Structure 1
């Protein structure tokens, strides 16, 4: 069963989102949590989601810290930001913490469902307005290109990720089985010191590790 968690303190919005995501596919279950602490307690009790949608402004632990705490416990769980915030600092903190996608609450439920599907396929969906700001800010930075020690195969996988290819497409293009691709991807994350595909792509563009994607 596909398990999706919505961590959101606005009960009305949380329930509406849970209802919309519960029809994502047969066998999908959407669970609701009003804060990070409740979700972390459920994880510590042995439960786990496949993907969790996290608001940023939450009572107690904020959503960005919550992503970091959950990713430490469940590194394979996909994290998505679902918020009203478009603040640059919060965007970068969320990506650094391990968010695999960034959606806005103004998005339709169909757009949110589509983003969840993309995350489950290994992509990194970001709201177009947010993505444009991220790339613009990165383009203003001109750091010296560091050497992260990526080998040729890791570099090729990273370049494919920046082109927006999902897991199966990368495997087919590079003639790798999925287990080998997963190993290579983990090596990339470890060498770049990031927790997910979105952060890896953002870092690669920011530090000119790959050619920037076409406009």
Structure 2
């Protein structure tokens, strides 16, 4: 059972999401919160697995709340759920460790899938903003948000692993990577797990930023010469 905490300052949205998600077999809404401070208090008591986090809330917004949670409870997965398709919010939410970013217009089935996806340790990004996220990865890579990987670890990567890293850096999903490289979804997931372990990176977001920083496409081209 996946324990979900819903954080949104609109009561109607909180109630609607709670009713729908509680009807799903593998999901239990353990609590709802109206602002970031309520979220922090609830976490200590309920210990949720996944938080659906609104961006714009009183007292403490979703981005700041995400930062605090990931610093103190790194195992909790956070999906930013918002009506605002805003560059700065996407940038900061991913920078601080959010596992996903969805617009509130998604269907309940898509939301259920997103919860299960991030719970399993993968990232979930609304297709509508995938291109924007890739641009943000580039901005983050060129700014002060750097990802450090040892040279020895990078040298241990295989050509196939580099191919996957290149696609992650472009914002491709596991399904898209599988189609491009002629692999199964499960094989791609296994490769990603191995890559993250080799590079000692926390998640797919860090890998994507590192791919941009290190010019993974250029590295792959050198290997294929």
Q: Which has the higher contact order (CA 8 A, sep 6+)?
A: 1
Q: Which residue of 2 aligns with 1:192?
A: none
Q: Which moved more, 1:78-87 or 1:128-137?
A: 128-137
Q: Which residue of 2 aligns with 1:96?
A: 95
Distance 1:172 1:140, change over 3 A: closer
Which whole-Å CA distance do the structure 2 matches of 1:58 and 1:25 have between them? 29
Provide, for residues 129-163 of structure 1, a one-character-per-residue CA deviation record: whole Å limited to 9, x for no partner.
Answer: 21111224556899599863161457849729826
The CA deviation at 1:208 is 4.2
- Give the match's secondary structure for 1:25: coil
Provide, for residues 59-88 of structure 1, a one-character-per-residue CA deviation record: whole Å limited to 9, x for no partner.
Answer: 011100101111122111111100011111
Q: How many residues align?
A: 198
Distance 1:143 1:72, change over 3 A: closer
TM-score by length of 2: 0.73
Distance 1:22 1:95, change over 3 A: same
* Matched-pair contact (CA < 8 Å) for 1:48–1:74: no
1:13 aligns with 2:13: yes
Distance 1:89 1:188, change over 3 A: same
Which whole-Å CA distance do the structure 1 matches of 2:87 and 2:24 have between them? 30
The CA deviation at 1:210 is 2.9
Q: Which residue of 2 aligns with 1:148?
A: 149
Higher Rg: 2
CA RMSD of aligned residues (A): 3.4
1:117 aligns with 2:116: yes
Unmatched tracts of structure 1, length 5 or more: 190-195
Which whole-Å CA distance do the structure 2 matches of 1:160 and 1:122 have between them? 20
TM-score by length of 1: 0.76
Which whole-Å CA distance do the structure 2 matches of 1:113 and 1:86 have between them? 21
Which whole-Å CA distance do the structure 2 matches of 1:207 and 1:130 have between them? 21
- Give the match's secondary structure for 1:85: coil
